């Protein structure tokens, strides 16, 4: 029943736990600040792909990315996208309160759908979106197939024996 008891916030052991946690957080903040190379890889940028009007489209969210730091290659039926989100210069006087941005190198391998013409792939960057597109062969574009409703047959009458 000890776990269900209410703790007095003025309890010395309870306050020591909070002090220890704050000290631990301060040490970790100093350690991460002293070792910026410890954050080597960025999170993978989220992707969205679709086919519309006979074209394959792929979008990656990459806010703050410099397009000069991106490489796009085609390997068979795979699209290889690599880049690096670089952090602005570190400041010795800056004390972060929140730090959720991802910095570092990223790499994505995404399959190209059947019929994409790899020699016609184009890429552009605008408002934080890396957009890649290419025409798709007409025979590979999905087409809708209508389901026909057939008339129901009348039930057969039993034959007399």
Are 77 and 133 found together in one domain?
Answer: yes
Residue with tokens 């390997």: 75
Are 127 and 53 found together in one domain?
Answer: yes
Q: Which residues is 55 bridged to in the sheet?
A: 52, 135
Closest CA to 109 of 84, 83, 82, 80: 80
Are 50 and 36 found together in one domain?
Answer: no
What range defines the domain where residue 17 resides?
A: 12-40
Are 119 and 73 found together in one domain?
Answer: yes
Task: Find out whether 110 and 98 touch, Cβ atoms under 8 Å.
Answer: no
The reply to whether 129 falls in a domain is yes
Are 107 and 129 found together in one domain?
Answer: yes
Look up the pTM and report it. Answer: 0.58
Instruction: Give the end-to-end CA distance of the chain in Å, rounded to a whole number.
Output: 84
Q: Which residues is 108 bridged to in the sheet?
A: 81
The reply to whether 160 falls in a domain is no
pLDDT in tens, the chain (161 residues): 445 555 555 555 656 766 777 777 667 666 665 444 333 345 788 999 999 988 999 999 988 888 999 999 999 889 999 998 887 777 788 888 887 777 788 899 999 998 999 999 999 999 989 999 999 987 766 678 899 988 888 777 777 66
């Amino acid at each position: 029943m000890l776990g269900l008891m209410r703790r007095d916030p003025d309890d010395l052991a309870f306050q020591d736990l909070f002090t220890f946690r704050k000290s631990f957080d301060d040490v970790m903040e100093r350690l991460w600040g002293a070792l910026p190379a410890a954050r080597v890889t960025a999170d993978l940028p989220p992707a969205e792909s679709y086919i519309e009007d006979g074209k394959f489209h792929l979008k990656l969210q990459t806010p703050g990315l410099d397009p000069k730091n991106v490489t796009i290659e085609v390997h068979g039926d795979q699209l290889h996208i690599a880049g690096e989100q670089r952090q602005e210069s570190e400041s010795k006087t800056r004390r972060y309160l929140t730090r959720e941005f991802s910095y570092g190198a990223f790499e994505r391998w995404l399959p190209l759908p059947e019929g994409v013409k790899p020699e016609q792939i184009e890429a552009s960057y605008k408002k934080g979106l890396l957009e890649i597109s290419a025409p798709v062969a007409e025979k590979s574009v999905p087409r809708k197939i209508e389901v026909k409703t057939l008339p129901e047959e009348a039930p057969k009458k039993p034959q007399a024996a």
